[in-house]
Chain A
């Protein structure tokens, strides 16, 4: 077998493309969790984003409206979660699960009329440079703006959390909402905003799937990526850079095991399909095993309701 360098480049590109929704959703959920809120509705918010994006694109014909509309849809559905958990102080886990079930159901209902409609081509950036350099060009150029945004996002998130005042406040609220409240920080407001931001990123992740990655609407098309995104956040120990690594490994193994199945490697299919899940978790556990660092980056108040006694 001759290994074509351009072919390797293409594989890497497809790995990166398949990890985009994971990165987007994980980085969104990371901010939510860093403020102490556990939102298990990622899958639901993604699928809502996917159908909203696709539907808006079909109806309005505008890609810009579709992308921002998908993000807005994510924000809206996460507002329900925020209202329930922050204002009515419901349990985070139960509410998040309900959100996912709700999202999958309603997206299937809306999506009925959109099954089988072909998607639109999404414009790419630097398309003309695609063939300029062998191997590197297809990796670097000719992708959608969402793609570039996704790969910048972990670094932006890291900078935001570590270097900005608002990032510090988010971490503080996640560490100890009581102390934060006594310091005069509006804990509920911070958590609301973090939940809505998480919703927007999940909506964008969904829109990427239905508008760019596989431009069509298929019922339940997120296919568990929301759960993987959630797992990435935890196993990366709330570190956006490790999320990027984890998402790449997961995306990579998913693509490679497809190729291995296609080539006909004599390994049971079930094992190959399970491989990405197992390896990603093992790798993230191994690179994050410093218990001191885990302690420092784990939001202490994660999943606990906060209410001010007056």
Chain B
């Protein structure tokens, strides 16, 4: 069974941006194709066109030389195009089986048999009768894959599938994908991770700013050549930071920290202990949803804990709120830039004023000192390379990278002793990531400390002096980062043991 998928001259225009500019590509079954590009390069738009979620303004799609009209996701399904989105399209409160039967025409028991066969064949093991919200991200993805396989697809499109997986789950996924490919399913793999492209794919198409930049065989490429094509300029990678000759002055110490949540969606934290010295960066690795966000909220004071559980600079501050903690020179950069760190509908300078430090004199007798705030905001914008000169702009119109720079700048301009950041480079393009990494290294050089909670292991290995892994609310032992490899981290992240 040979499958040929061809897209020709696809154009999709959104107000203010050309998401896909005349893109043409051809795919043949038996190979695994990579579609590579930075965030905002237009990969996701192209994928949505292929899966019928959106319709292109111009252009056509051909499957085995026949023209395809994809007006809705149903049309894509009917034409044997399977799709696994980056953000899972699962119903969290329904059981796995309910999730699978909802778009199937088969009767319950025959579908169940079919699912069992698929699971046996590819070595998946998932309890079909528990709600999806109890599954790990890797298992959820398997549910999505099973959902596609039920329909015997000719084409399987995977959109950024590894962003939520551990190292082990990723290699399992790659094995499955190779198996699917051998069985004649055409696989299109969308990612911005170069390593994965080199590892898995046969051919690669690179997109940049909505345009197709190149199509080539993997064996003719290497990581550097792909990175340059993707970014469009020669990048100098940020070097791994030199381990600080860490001072032995302790800055923050967490003792016997526990957190029990009522909400089944949250993770309980069990007996967390660690300390960070001045000038040190402690990295906390883990797959998202293992207690990182609870830990961040406790460290930042969004969740109040016991007074004695957090000792900062010889003060016990566990029962203080974020504003009070800031007075002790702590600073925070939360995960969700638009929801937690900034208020999207407010202007840039107003967002700057949200960190109301006493010393900054933003308010006089309860009135806003606008000129002083604006002056301050301008300083942040120049010092931290935020690409705009309009501080009256609503912050929702800043790109992710610029917003992150603004937030980190806002936190750092008061020169805090400790910066706690949570996934600071999530969803940013390579240029912005480099800038943030350089900034974080600089902080350590100034003998200030960082707690870096991140799901990106490469980032952690690059920036941390010490690394620990959080799994199901428990912290692993703290290791020096020169003894750690991403494989070891992967094992710990999946709940395994290393010696």
Interchain CB contact (< 8 A) of A184 among B54, B72, B264? B72
Flag if A184 contacts B94 (CB, 8 Å): no
Flag if B264 contacts A168 (CB, 8 Å): no
Closest residue of B by beta carbon distance from A178:
B89
Give the CA-CA distance A168 to B72 in the complex, in Å. 21
| Given contact pairs A172-B102, A310-B54, A292 touches B264 in the complex (Cβ within 8 A) | yes
Give chain B residues whose Cβ lies under 8 Å from the Cβ of A182: 51, 53, 73, 85, 89
| Given contact pairs A179-B89, A295-B93, A295-B265, A184 touches B98 in the complex (Cβ within 8 A) | no
Is the C-beta of A296 less than 8 angstroms from some C-beta in chain B?
yes
Among A169, A179, A292, chain B packs the most CB atoms within 10 A around the CB of A179
Flag if B77 contacts A175 (CB, 8 Å): no
Query: How far apart are A130's CB and chain B's nearest CB, in angstroms?
Result: 44
Closest residue of B by beta carbon distance from A171:
B94
Give the CA-CA distance A165 to B100 in the complex, in Å. 12
Query: How far apart are A278's CB and chain B's nearest CB, in angstroms?
Result: 24
Is the C-beta of A291 less than 8 angstroms from some C-beta in chain B?
yes
In A255-310, the 8 Å CB interface with B consists of: 291-292, 295-298, 300, 309-310
Is the C-beta of A90 less than 8 angstroms from some C-beta in chain B?
no
Give chain A residues whose Cβ lies under 8 Å from the Cβ of B262: 291
Query: How far apart are B17's CB and chain A's nearest CB, in angstroms?
Result: 13
Give chain B residues whose Cβ lies under 8 Å from the Cβ of A172: 91, 94, 98, 102
Is the C-beta of A60 less than 8 angstroms from some C-beta in chain B?
no
Give chain B residues whose Cβ lies under 8 Å from the Cβ of A291: 262-264
Flag if A168 contacts B98 (CB, 8 Å): yes
| Given contact pairs A184-B74, A184-B77, A184-B103, A175 touches B93 in the complex (Cβ within 8 A) | yes
> Do most interface residues of chain A lie in helix, strand or loop, or is the interface mixed?
helix
Is the C-beta of A58 less than 8 angstroms from some C-beta in chain B?
no
| Given contact pairs A184-B77, A310-B54, A169 touches B102 in the complex (Cβ within 8 A) | yes
Give the CA-CA distance A298 to B92 in the complex, in Å. 11
Is the C-beta of B23 less than 8 angstroms from some C-beta in chain A?
no
Closest residue of A by beta carbon distance from B132:
A175
Query: How far apart are A89's CB and chain B's nearest CB, in angstroms?
Result: 18
Is the C-beta of B133 less than 8 angstroms from some C-beta in chain A?
yes
Is the C-beta of A128 less than 8 angstroms from some C-beta in chain B?
no
| Given contact pairs A168-B98, A169-B102, A291-B262, A183 touches B89 in the complex (Cβ within 8 A) | yes
Flag if A300 contacts B102 (CB, 8 Å): no
Give the CA-CA distance A71 to B36 in the complex, in Å. 56
Give chain B residues whose Cβ lies under 8 Å from the Cβ of A185: 102-103
Give the CA-CA distance A179 to B93 in the complex, in Å. 12
Give the CA-CA distance A298 to B263 in the complex, in Å. 13
Give the CA-CA distance A185 to B73 in the complex, in Å. 9
Is the C-beta of B101 less than 8 angstroms from some C-beta in chain A?
yes
Give chain B residues whose Cβ lies under 8 Å from the Cβ of A175: 91-94
Query: How far apart are B240's CB and chain A's nearest CB, in angstroms?
Result: 39
Flag if A295 contacts B133 (CB, 8 Å): yes
0/1 string, B41-68, CB within 8 A of A gives 1: 0000000000101110000000000000
0/1 string, A117-136, CB within 8 A of B gives 1: 00000000000000000000
Is the C-beta of B303 less than 8 angstroms from some C-beta in chain A?
no
Closest residue of A by beta carbon distance from B147:
A183
Give the CA-CA distance A181 to B51 in the complex, in Å. 12
Closest residue of A by beta carbon distance from B53:
A182
Flag if A296 contacts B73 (CB, 8 Å): no
Flag if B90 contacts A179 (CB, 8 Å): yes
0/1 string, B83-121, CB within 8 A of A gives 1: 001001111111000100111000000000000000000
Give the CA-CA distance A281 to B313 in the complex, in Å. 49
Is the C-beta of A176 less than 8 angstroms from some C-beta in chain B?
yes
| Given contact pairs A169-B102, A175-B91, A184 touches B73 in the complex (Cβ within 8 A) | yes
Give the CA-CA distance A98 to B133 in the complex, in Å. 36
Flag if A183 contacts B264 (CB, 8 Å): no
- Given A182-B73, A291-B262, output 8 extra A-B contacts at Cβ < 8 Å: A168-B101, A169-B102, A171-B91, A171-B98, A172-B91, A296-B133, A297-B93, A310-B54
- Nearest 3 Cβ contacts at the A-B interface: A184-B74, A179-B89, A175-B91
Taking beta carbons and an 8 Å cutoff, which residues of B are in contact with A?
Answer: 51, 53-55, 72-74, 77, 85, 88-94, 98, 101-103, 131, 133, 262-265
Pull 13 A–B residue pairs with CB atoms less than 8 Å apart, ordered by A: A168-B101, A175-B91, A175-B92, A176-B91, A176-B92, A179-B89, A183-B73, A291-B262, A292-B264, A295-B93, A295-B133, A295-B263, A295-B264
